[in-house]
Amino acid sequence: MSVPGAAVAWKWRADPSPPAPDAAVAWHDSARLLHARLGRLSPDTQARLLACASRDVLIVSGAAEDLPWVPGIAYAARCTDAPTLWRPTVLQPDVPAELLARALRRAHSRGPMLLWPDPAALVPLDQQLRVSPALLARIAERWQSS
């Protein structure tokens, strides 16, 4: 695998000591399930979470104990040695995370970034907003129009 715009070749490998999650990541149908689950959370719990979404993915970040679960969801964490780079909790790059983070900073002007294996994606996390009924309504509208 390589970082778009950078010459860093690497592969994913299992993380023998997965970190605690900082985010819940849901793609496609699981994203819709996560969206519905967020709507059922208490206002206090919603207010402790941040979210961003595109047509295919919904990412919710916050304390591990506040992150919701739905079928098909996966979890992500900040890389300890490169906090602007987020990755799946169960996988890690086979090169130093700081090397990937530097390559991403050179290739993209946004950050932090979530690096995801399947589907292979690089998702900027700098547009996350506090979860609220208004945000959930905006996400639902965007999904309906796409």
- The predicted structure's pLDDT at residue 100: 87
pLDDT band at 11 (very low <50, low <70, confident <90, very high): very high
The token duo for 76 is 């992500």
Look up residue 90 and give its two tokens.
Answer: 């169960």
- Res. 6: pLDDT tops 60: no
Q: Answer whether 67's CB lies under 8 Å from 55's CB.
A: no
How buried is 62 (Cβ within 10 angstroms: 0-12 exposed, 13-18 middle, 19+ buried)?
buried
Residue 41 has pLDDT above 70, yes or no: yes
- Which DSSP helix (H) or strand (E) runs through 30? helix 29-40
